[in-house]
Structure 1
Amino acid sequence: MMQLKVEQQKRLKKLLTDERERLTDHLEARRDSPAVSMGELSSCDNHPAEFGTETFERSQDMALDDASRERLNEVERALARMREGEYGTCEVCGEDIPFERLESVPETLRCIRHADSGLSDARPVEEEVMTAPPSGAGEARRRQDDRFDEADAWAALEEYGNASDTVNPQELESAQGERDMERANSRAK
């Protein structure tokens, strides 16, 4: 183990054991929670969108639980390395990991230089079956591009004023009439 002071070792061990306890409590609470299972006994009165929402929330909870289990494993590995006297040295290059890094990420097993060397370059499996859009997709939208765009939006809305302006209904009607005349003239051209 790198040359950490006794008080530094105690502090890091406390950070790791506190995190282990927090993660263990979280995972146990999730396992024992009735919210983990689908809530309704019957699906007769539910709208299909509710099933989509419930499925999304359930998959999100499962992903968060997986991340918590992974983090718990990292904490356990760091505590094991601490018991073995290897904590504080990079598992890739064997260099000492600075105390500041260990303090901010106590479960780390790598120095900053090798921090991302364990990340995968794998792409999502969905990309294997994705296809390019068919030719001509979006052509109708492109033909409509000159009709109304974001640049004209403020000019069109500006004449209505805002919530703090007082609006005179006669001015509004005359402005509407002028706009209608301009549109009619531009269509006639």
Structure 2
Amino acid sequence: MDTTWFKEQLQQSRKELLQHQSSHDRTERQDELSNYDNHPADNGTELFEREKDEALFNHAEKALHDIEDALEKIDNGTYGICEKTGEAIPEERLRAYPEARTVASIKQTGVPSDRPAEEDVLGGFENYNHDEDERETEFDGEDAYQQVARFNDTSLEYEEETGDTDLYGANGVESFEGFLSTGIDGYHGPDSVHVEQNEHYQAYRQRNQ
């Protein structure tokens, strides 16, 4: 197989990647001395852009490594040989992907086969209910549900009496606060206090007669 065309393609791809890396180095963002005046959304956008640039840079680094490896194989006469089986890689595959290391039928490795831990609880709490097992004493799924559900039975009313217990004082304040008031400018002496002739005042007078 004549490798001249493949070598030219690989060298062109390497040139473009090196130019891209050089441009990335020249336009790399500079850190600010302080983020105090930045909006959190701006900081989030900046972080996203940095992570995207880093991912693209890492991808380009790997692509450059594969190209260098393919060029080395061309020089030593091993280009186009599958690293796993030793078979010849079809020319159609090499033309589509000159950096190919294996034949297309080779299963890619490195893909995790374990399942997410969240799938363990998708069946519901009953999968973790050990109440029927007398030997089991752990805090199981049903216990967790019961612990949370008990808050639905809690009254929102605070029943303990504090302070005065008249019509106004039951809220935990002094009874005279129900009928004494000041103007918009607040308290500035006894003359600024007004007595409101309301039910709280009447109840206060009856209790203190």
TM-score by length of 1: 0.57
Match of 1:26 among 20, 23, 32: 20
Deviating 4+ runs (over 4 angstroms): 127-136
Provide the aligned length of Structure 1 versus Structure 2: 124
Post-superposition Cα deviations, 1:7-63, rounded to whole Å, max 9, x if no partner, equal: xx111001100011111111121122243x33x454232101110110011011101
Give how far 1:98 is off. 1.1
* 1:55 matches 2:47: yes
Q: Distance in 1 between matches of 2:37 and 2:104?
A: 54
- Report sequence identity in percent: 32
| 2:17 counterpart letter in structure 1 | L
Distance 1:105 1:63 in 2: 21
* Matching residue of 1:68: 60
TM-score (norm 2): 0.52
Secondary structure of the residue aligned to 1:20 is helix
The unaligned stretches of length 5 or more in structure 1 are 137-189
What whole-Å deviation, never above 9, does each CA across 1:105-135 have from its counterpart, x for those lacking one? 0011111112x43x312379xx679996997
Higher-Rg member (1/2): 2
CA distance in 2, matches of 1:80, 1:65: 23
Output the amino acid matched with 2:42. E
CA gap 1:61/1:130 in 2 versus in 1, 3 angstroms: farther
Structure 2: tracts of 5 or more residues without a match: 126-144, 146-209
Question: Residue in 2 aligned with 1:103?
Answer: 95
Alignment RMSD: 2.6
Match in the other structure for 1:120: 110
1:10 to 4, 9, 16: 4
Give the number of the structure with larger relative contact order, counting CA–CA contacts within 8 Å between residues 6 or more apart. 1
